A = this chain, B = another copy of it.
Amino acid sequence: MRIITISREFGSGGRELGKRLAETLGIPCYDHEIIDMVANRYGLDKNYVSHVSEKDIRVFYPSTIGHRLMTNSSVLQQSVKIAAAQHEMIRQLALQGDCVIVGRCADVLCRDMHPLNIFVYADRLSKLQRCETRADESEHFSEKEIFRKMKQIDKERAAYRELFTEEKWGKKEFYHLCINTSGKEIKTLIPAVAAYVNIWFGQD
């Protein structure tokens, strides 16, 4: 079975890499779809699930224990439940057959299925340019705002990962292949990554 997981820095093009790689390999890519599936199954709002899905659940912990604990605790329970549902969903999808899964600690969750785990990263300037190109005409963020968003999202991803595992997000030791996309168009890298994937699994 070929399970490929993509972890990525915000703005590095990791999501695009996952989508295009899956297309080239002729297998499904799961990304936002996971949120929709969890929302549908639990009758929850997609935005809410999305909000919780890659964020640090600890932010929902009460800041002062014992004070209004009930309210916060129920929010926390809901968040943990959504995370658990998402984890279950990811494993079910992976068990169905070959696929690419973007983000969501899939590398850790599917470890027993021996996935190929890829980390996608880039330098700050390349990520900034990618974010600017990707933004709608109607959106306008300053460079400073984009850099702040990058940092914040990556921090949330790291914290989410560290809730479930001892493995640090983005540390090359925890991935099989780390791809620097700085200055590169993602689509030009795809045949190379696809070749790597095919040979990787071909030998198993």
Residues of A that sit less than 8 Å from B by CB: 119, 121, 123, 170, 172-173, 175-180, 182, 184, 188-189, 191-193, 195-196, 198-200, 203
Contact A176 B180 (CB under 8 A): yes
Residues of B within 8 A of A172 (CB): 119, 121, 170, 172, 178, 180
Residues of B within 8 A of A173 (CB): 121, 123, 180
A189 and B176 alpha carbons, distance in the complex (Å)? 12
Tell me how many chains of this kind the complex includes.
2
A177 and B170 alpha carbons, distance in the complex (Å)? 14
Looking at the complex, which one of B179, B180, B189, B195 makes contact with A192 (CB distance below 8 Å)? Answer: B195
Looking at the complex, which one of B123, B188, B189, B199 makes contact with A189 (CB distance below 8 Å)? Answer: B199
Residues of B within 8 A of A198 (CB): 192
Looking at the complex, which one of B177, B188, B191 makes contact with A177 (CB distance below 8 Å)? Answer: B177
Q: Which 7 A-B pairs have the closest CB atoms?
A: A195-B195, A178-B178, A192-B199, A192-B196, A188-B203, A172-B172, A176-B180
Known A172-B178, A177-B177, A177-B178: A200·B192 in contact at CB below 8 Å: yes
Residues of B within 8 A of A193 (CB): 196
Residues of B within 8 A of A179 (CB): 177
Q: Distance in Å from the Cβ of A195 to the closest Cβ of chain B?
A: 3
Beta-carbon nearest neighbor of A174 in chain B = B180
Residues of B within 8 A of A189 (CB): 199-200
Residues of B within 8 A of A184 (CB): 203
Beta-carbon nearest neighbor of A175 in chain B = B180
